[in-house]
Amino acid sequence: MNQDITTTPQPHPWVTAATPDNLRDPQLLQDLSEIGMTCLLGWHALSAIPHSYGDKSVWYGKALDWAMELERLHIHYLQDELLNKFPEDQRTHLNLADHDIACAYRTLFLNNRSRIDGDPKTSILQRLAYAHNTIRNLVKGDGNFHCGRLPSQGDPEFLVYDPDAKIWIAGPATEDDEYQD
């Protein structure tokens, strides 16, 4: 067994003493990180762009890109195959996160005055924040699942996507770590 014993694996920043045992599974943790951090990165990317209904605006292009990314999350992760791996109470919280993702997706995809009441950008950002916090706090074993502030770039629990290893890793993020196609 040739194992590098000088490098200790870094613990996932969301795992705490209160984390339920079933959520310590590396693959489940990876999947939940992917969902939660994609929502957070979408929040960061969209919060920096002024909202516009124009079909040639920067917002419109980013909105469609993020709508497709949220659709990918739903299709890839939030189906019964994954959800059935969780006990009922955890499944309920994941369904709430899925509902928030679906609402953000619908608002991003439609970007239509006649269908959206109020400020669509605020609604989208709120739903993405709720989904991220629900998943992050579920893993951490915290209550108030959708409450709390979002991690900022540079916070130790911000995860960075390593495209070479195709995993999320803990570390301080920078502006360059935002979602890229």
- Is residue 141 within 8 Å of residue 19, measured between CB atoms? yes
| Domain contains 10 | no
Output the CA angle 91-97-100, nearest 5 degrees: 145
Tell me the average pLDDT across 125-152: 83
pLDDT-based confidence at 1, cuts 50/70/90? very low
Residue 58 domain boundaries? 21-177
pLDDT-based confidence at 128, cuts 50/70/90? very high
Task: Give the three-state DSSP class for 181.
Answer: coil
16 Rama class: left (phi>0) / alpha (psi -120 to 50) / beta: beta
Task: Give the three-state DSSP class for 157.
Answer: coil
pLDDT-based confidence at 101, cuts 50/70/90? very high
One-letter amino acid of 129: A
| Domain contains 7 | no
* The two structure tokens encoding residue 86: 């969780």
| Domain contains 6 | no
pLDDT digits (tens, 9 = 90+) for 160-175: 777 777 777 766 655 5
Residue 146: the pLDDT is 65
| Domain contains 165 | yes
The total number of structural domains that make up the chain? 1
| Domain contains 137 | yes
pLDDT-based confidence at 43, cuts 50/70/90? very high
Residue 130: the pLDDT is 93
Per-residue pLDDT for 179 more than 50? no
Q: 31-35, 113-117, 151-155: lowest mean pLDDT where?
A: 113-117
Tell me the average pLDDT across 135-155: 76
pTM over 0.85: no
| Domain contains 148 | yes
Tell me the average pLDDT across 122-143: 89
Residue 173: the pLDDT is 56
To 10 degrees, the CA torsion angle through 106, 111, 113, 115?
-10
- Is residue 156 within 8 Å of residue 176, measured between CB atoms? no
| Domain contains 1 | no
| Domain contains 26 | yes
Q: Return the bridge partners of 72, or none.
A: none
* The two structure tokens encoding residue 21: 């045992």
